[in-house]
Structure 1
Amino acid sequence: MSDDALSVDPTPPVEAQASPPATPVTPPSTVRALSCPNCGGIVNVRAQGLTVSVLCEHCGSTLDATRPDLQVIARANEALKTPEIPLGTRGTLGGRVWEVVGYMERTDEEIGWAEYLLFNPYEGYAFLVDDGRRFSLGIMLDRLPTMGWANSMQLDGQSYSRFGDTYPVRVTFVVGEFYWRVAVGETVDETDFVRPGTMLSCEVYQTERTWTRLDLLDWGVAEEAFGISARRREYSHPAPHEPSPYKRQLREALVVGVVALLVLFVVSGIGGSEQQIGQTTTDAVLDGPEKTVVIRGLDLPSARSRVVVDADAGAIDNAWVDLDYSLTDEKTQDSVDTYGLAEHYSGSDSDGSWTEGDPRPEVSLSSIPGGKYDLVVTLSAHRWNGGSSSSSFSMPTGFAGGSTFGQDSGQTVPITVTIKRGGVFGGNILLAFLLIAIWPLIVLFKNFAFEKRRMAPVSGSGGDDDDSGGDDD
């Protein structure tokens, strides 16, 4: 057996011991504190190695962050302002923690807005744009959009419409640290392309062109993230990329309206059938005395119902028949009175032949209580003397009197009166339709007005409209 096989490790075994809990290691701070060579104030550089210029929070001087001694690039030209979100504030947006490292104000000479430069060591830089109403989160694009139809741009399968012309944007105030040498008075040419919820902003400075995508944040998200006061919702001056707050309401109104219309048509169809409950035919003497006929035993259901009285005097020409109706309850003798007129005229003039009038009038009575009724019809017929001889009408064989209107005295006109119950009023259906359509029409108008304001040319003047809407899309 070899020596190697017999060798024994002389080191005694060591008993396993539980290791003490690891002490969390606090990463060294990335903030570098330096003194401003102009005022001596402490300047904190938060993004070391990336920051190019720093604006002193104490005196406003522009400092060169690439030099260890922070040499002064430019002196402050105006008093310092305090941003609503202080420098160094951290907040979480979209699941990422961002720190405010810079702040500047810009203008297009009509309106102004604020931009916060945000920094995350893993994500890089982002912009929080504040237009005074709402916040948008801007991320610089690492790819170029492509041209679409009618001056639009395409990005990730979505189309963005051009908003107005290219316009100059000037920096009016700046403080904090930036990854480029920004200064008051710096001007770029900007072009915007919008779709609801998002904007593509193209900025051109000298020979450099940059693209930024701005996503509109929901109301209160940025305020909650950075601990500032929530803002009141108002839609009098919407941002160019702001979704309409009325779209959801419009969808709901259309759905409810369609359902209501279907119910209306079903109900009107069920209750719209008419049932004949009485009829009589009588003759009226032209220019003769009044005649009265009674239709008895008209049964109406216990519930209130609609009653229709139709008169048919289709044989008349150049004449009219006055019809007085009285629907009387046999038990209470309460009556409902109404009036109808059957008429028809014809003739010819220099423009040719003409006709007018309705020989078959219909009269409707609503909400008649149930019971047994009699209908008293009083009628009288009259000739019209303005008709020409060419407009005379031959009566069918078997009619009483002569063969032609206006020739023989005692000529009669046959009239048939029919009573029906049930059905619905066309005016009520129209009124119900209009009431159902009011809500969708109002929301549609508000949505149209919002879109008109959204795409209107930017103006610094305007009212203080309190128009408010529903939730964003």
Structure 2
Amino acid sequence: MTQGKCPSCGAMVQFTAGSAQVVVCDHCQTVVARKGLDFESHGKIGSIVPTDSPLQLRAQGRFQKTAYTIVGHLQKDHGEGPWDEWYVEFEDGRTAWISESEGVFHLMFDMGTEDGVSLDDMHPGERLHLRDRAWIIEERGHGRVTAAEGQLPNDLDPTQDAWYVDATGPKGAFVTLDFGTRGHTPEVFMGEALKLGQLGISAGQLRPRVRKVELQQARCTECNGNLELRAPDKTLRVVCPYCGAMLGVRQGKLSFLRLLEKPARPLLIPLGTKGKLDGTEWICIGFLERSCTVEGIRYPWEEYLLYNASRGFTWLMNSNGHWVFLTPLPAGEVSLVPEVSAFFNGRRYKCFQTVTAVTDLVLGEFYWTVKVGERAQAAEYVAAPYSVSVDSTDDEVTYTHGEYLAPEVVQESFRLKEPLPRPDGVAPSQPNPFHGGLRSSLMWMGIWMVALFALSALITARASNTVVLDQVVTVPHTANSGTPTAMNFSEPFELTKRGNMKVEVQAPVLNDWLGIQGDLVNQDTNEVVSFYEELSYYRGTTDGESWSEGSTGGSTYLSPLPAGKYVLRTTASFTPEPGRPRDRSFTVKLTHDAPQGTWFCFALGLMVLGPLVSVFRSHSFETRRWAESNV
């Protein structure tokens, strides 16, 4: 430890961190640098502005089993409000920085400089290959140090505007390239995103979250209306619900910016309403109406900003009565093929639309300097009921993961008294209501098909399938068509049990036809069961092309016959050929108790009918969905 007197005020200052090069005097805010055994003044720096950060100097934590101490604190600002960065020193001599962003902490280690990298080549949304890893650039910005305390590794220059690029990778990986002033070789700080609990700091060492009381009950500078801010420590813009004045928030004070148009109707979720989604209680603090114009038609939608002190900010979007719950998503977690598809968490999302989104109406409070007329390129990728949305500007790209919610879910979650409007049309990420029916139909079809095949196999196994008659019948050339002279009687045969009868007939007809009238006569009861089969077969050549039609064989099934003795009587019909008398013949085969496939095919058709209807309805729904796509 090195200690001495502040060159400016004489108060005692000390260096406890071996990596520190400067320390900020607690009494006069002088930046004190050590030069050998001497201390020298490097000017003054601003005092830390109270924020909602839970971290504080000298807090001790543990990361990956190694202890560390917070020894320094910077506040930076890019003109839209300060953010905090904390300098830590590990007990093994390593140093790192902890930065905060919307409830997420990034622990980053100094990885040295990177040659051959230019700030001008860095654009949000683009891929960055650095240190053998792939990253997605999320933000390119700049800011300057406005306040500091504790011990720090470098000198401070509050007049220097430093540029940086932030990028994310898979599994929470995070990298910042600090370019300093433009044109400098960047310093690389690489680490990962962590929750507060992962920093390993005990609750007793965290700073109590003190809200800005002076802003909790602020009044509009234009109409003096009461403004009850729900997130005063995070808010940078407030829009008065009474007069529509947009107010800037800076160091606990409100300033008038401009007068905005107020919403034409009451908000579906009033500001200040609390609701529980994703296991977290949120409070609605802001409202946007955004729109896009496609082929001259304006399509508006609403976005409600939700806030939770632990989880930060998220969004609930309403478009034509369809609701989507949106949560922030690191760009590096998504593999994106622009305007084609996105891959996240093992799921493929198909590009649905790309539009220019414009902010038209604003109400409530916001964590960024929102402006009416803001434009962003917006792309949506869907895998119903989920979606991945990408909003990009020149300086920043944001990814969000969406989950479709039915209006009833939103109604119940926020305990809304008035019923929400019913959905109109089909939303990009709306789940297909017929997918479940299709899956169910296919499942039951599979079950019933197994049962059907089992039943068919059982019936086939139990059937006797006995050939009771197989004879060739000759019709003499002297017979006349359809008369008793063309009639033939078979030998008697016996059926030992009740069962159906399969009749098969075959005749060597060629460019001719033969009709066979069959009558099965029960010799005990004289009951007759009849059938008729007509066989015809023709072939020839027309314009050099051969053709044929008909068949030389046919079959039919007769209804179940009772047991008993039977005789088959057949009568042949044909076209006489004067001057060319000839004998005709045909074969008749009777199979008793033969398995019949007609019932099987009919049952199978009925089983397939349900899934076919479900497929048609599901396809129609998807057709309606993708008819709205513009890619």
How does the TM-score come out when normalised to structure 2?
0.58
CA distance 1:126–1:384, change in 2 (3 Å) = farther
Q: Give the structure 1 partner of residue 602 of structure 2.
A: 431
Is 2:253 the partner of 1:76? no
Q: Give the structure 1 partner of residue 281 of structure 2.
A: 97
**In 2, are the aligned partners of 1:60 and 1:79 still within 8 Å (CA)?**
no
Give the distance between the partners of 1:42 and 1:346, measured in 2 at CA: 97
- Within-5 A mapping of 1:223-302: 223-228=411-416, 237-272=425-460, 274-286=465-477, 288-289=479-480, 290-295=485-490, 296-299=492-495, 301-302=497-498
Deviates more, 1:361-370 or 1:111-120: 361-370
For residue 65 of structure 1, the aligned residue among 228, 249, 252 is 249
Give the distance between the partners of 2:390 and 2:285, measured in 1 at CA: 23
- Within-5 A mapping of 1:30-49: 32-49=216-233
CA distance 1:300–1:170, change in 2 (3 Å) = farther
For residue 409 of structure 2, the aligned residue among 210, 213, 221 is 221
Q: Give the structure 1 partner of residue 350 of structure 2.
A: 161
**Equivalent residue letter for 1:276:** V
Deviation at 1:69, TM superposition (A): 4.8
Deviates more, 1:353-362 or 1:243-252: 353-362
Deviation at 1:348, TM superposition (A): 6.8
> 2:551 aligns to what SS in structure 1?
coil
**Equivalent residue letter for 2:521:** T
CA distance 1:301–1:136, change in 2 (3 Å) = same
Give the distance between the partners of 1:368 and 1:270, measured in 2 at CA: 21
For residue 624 of structure 2, the aligned residue among 437, 442, 453 is 453
Give the distance between the partners of 2:556 and 2:381, measured in 1 at CA: 62
**In 1, are the aligned partners of 2:262 and 2:363 still within 8 Å (CA)?**
no
Deviation at 1:427, TM superposition (A): 4.3
Q: Give the structure 2 partner of residue 10 of structure 1.
A: none
Give the distance between the partners of 2:312 and 2:233, measured in 1 at CA: 12
Deviation at 1:64, TM superposition (A): 1.8
**In 1, are the aligned partners of 2:260 and 2:361 still within 8 Å (CA)?**
no
**Equivalent residue letter for 2:612:** L
Deviates more, 1:144-153 or 1:77-86: 144-153
> 2:588 aligns to what SS in structure 1?
strand
CA distance 1:103–1:381, change in 2 (3 Å) = closer
Give the distance between the partners of 1:248 and 1:79, measured in 2 at CA: 39
- Within-5 A mapping of 1:254-403: 254-272=442-460, 274-286=465-477, 288-289=479-480, 290-295=485-490, 296-299=492-495, 301-302=497-498, 305-314=499-508, 317=510, 319-344=512-537, 351=544, 357-368=550-561, 372-380=565-573, 382=575
**In 1, are the aligned partners of 2:220 and 2:227 still within 8 Å (CA)?**
yes
Deviation at 1:33, TM superposition (A): 0.9
> 1:182 aligns to what SS in structure 2?
coil
CA deviation string 1:236-265 (max 9, x = no partner): 733222332222322221222233233333
**Equivalent residue letter for 1:275:** T
> 1:216 aligns to what SS in structure 2?
strand
> 2:306 aligns to what SS in structure 1?
strand
**In 2, are the aligned partners of 1:60 and 1:80 still within 8 Å (CA)?**
no
**In 2, are the aligned partners of 1:192 and 1:201 still within 8 Å (CA)?**
yes
**In 2, are the aligned partners of 1:55 and 1:177 still within 8 Å (CA)?**
yes
Query: CA RMSD, aligned part only?
Result: 3.3
Unmatched segments (≥5 aa) in structure 1: 1-26, 386-405, 460-473
**In 2, are the aligned partners of 1:107 and 1:113 still within 8 Å (CA)?**
yes
> 1:223 aligns to what SS in structure 2?
helix
Give the distance between the partners of 1:346 and 1:77, measured in 2 at CA: 84
**Equivalent residue letter for 1:379:** A
Q: Give the structure 1 partner of residue 368 of structure 2.
A: 180
**Equivalent residue letter for 1:457:** E
**In 2, are the aligned partners of 1:319 and 1:384 still within 8 Å (CA)?**
no
**In 2, are the aligned partners of 1:171 and 1:184 still within 8 Å (CA)?**
yes
Give the distance between the partners of 1:158 and 1:249, measured in 2 at CA: 22
**In 2, are the aligned partners of 1:194 and 1:241 still within 8 Å (CA)?**
yes
Deviation at 1:73, TM superposition (A): 1.3
Give the distance between the partners of 1:349 and 1:60, measured in 2 at CA: 87
Ranked by relative contact order (alpha carbons within 8 Å, sequence separation 6 or more), the top structure is: 1
Give the distance between the partners of 2:503 and 2:422, measured in 1 at CA: 58
How does the TM-score come out when normalised to structure 1?
0.75
**Equivalent residue letter for 1:60:** G
- In the alignment of these two chains, the number of paired residues is 408
Deviation at 1:436, TM superposition (A): 1.2
Deviation at 1:87, TM superposition (A): 1.0
CA deviation string 1:22-50 (max 9, x = no partner): xxxxx989770122122221111111121
Give the distance between the partners of 2:514 and 2:373, measured in 1 at CA: 90
